[in-house]
Amino acid sequence: MSLNVHPLVGVGVLIRKNGKFLLAKRKGSHGSGTWSPPGGKLEFGEEIETAAIRETYEETGLMITGLRFLTATNDIFKEDNKHYVTLWLKAEYTSGKPKIMEPDKLSHAWEWFSIDQLPSPLFIPLQNLLKHHRRTLE
């Protein structure tokens, strides 16, 4: 099995509401069975903030505001032969109830979790974010 020659660029969106973050359980793709915030691939020619807004809406039905860049993580999925650099943004929750908009990609309803009571297992990019940049989230 050959490896991807170049890393892909992902976007992860941390939406905060009352001190909690929005997560759902992934399925049908790399990281299946892990908990993850909204996110996805950066498309060719797309602005990072535009990708964050698009992915959040496509996955949750929510509109977000107040986007701020946090950091980037280097995420290697050995068993899937994938390598991503994930650009992390923080967003403000405004209103609405998150819905599973892509049932083929998520196996569990969106839920709000505090940083000290996150579910397990976490998506590798989120693990890396917490490992190296936890203070930026508290």
DSSP 26: B
Contact between residue 122 and residue 36 where contact means Cβ atoms under 8 Å apart: yes
Between 107 and 4, name the one with better pLDDT. Answer: 107
Helix, strand, coil content of the chain in percent (nearest 5): 20, 40, 40
Distance CA 40, CA 27 (A): 13
The pLDDT of residue 1: 44
Between 135 and 118, name the one with better pLDDT. Answer: 118
Whole-prediction pTM value? 0.91
Q: Which helix (H) or strand (E) holds 48?
A: helix 48-60
Distance CA 64, CA 132 (A): 25
Q: Identify the structural domains of the chain with CATH numbers, from first to last.
A: 8-136 (3.90.79.10)
Phi, psi of 108 (to 5 degrees): -145, 145
pLDDT at 96 over 60: yes
The pLDDT of residue 90: 96
Distance CA 74, CA 118 (A): 21
The pLDDT > 70 percentage for the chain reads 96
| Mean predicted confidence (pLDDT) in 76-83 | 91
The pLDDT of residue 108: 83
Which two tokens mark 30? 């790399």
Which two tokens mark 33? 């069975």
DSSP 107: S
pLDDT at 4 over 90: no
| Mean predicted confidence (pLDDT) in 68-90 | 95
pLDDT at 136 over 80: no
pLDDT in tens, 24-75: 999 988 889 999 999 999 999 999 999 999 999 999 999 999 999 999 999 9
The pLDDT of residue 3: 53
Q: Does residue 45 come out as left (phi exceeding 0), alpha (psi in the -120 to 50 range) or beta?
A: left
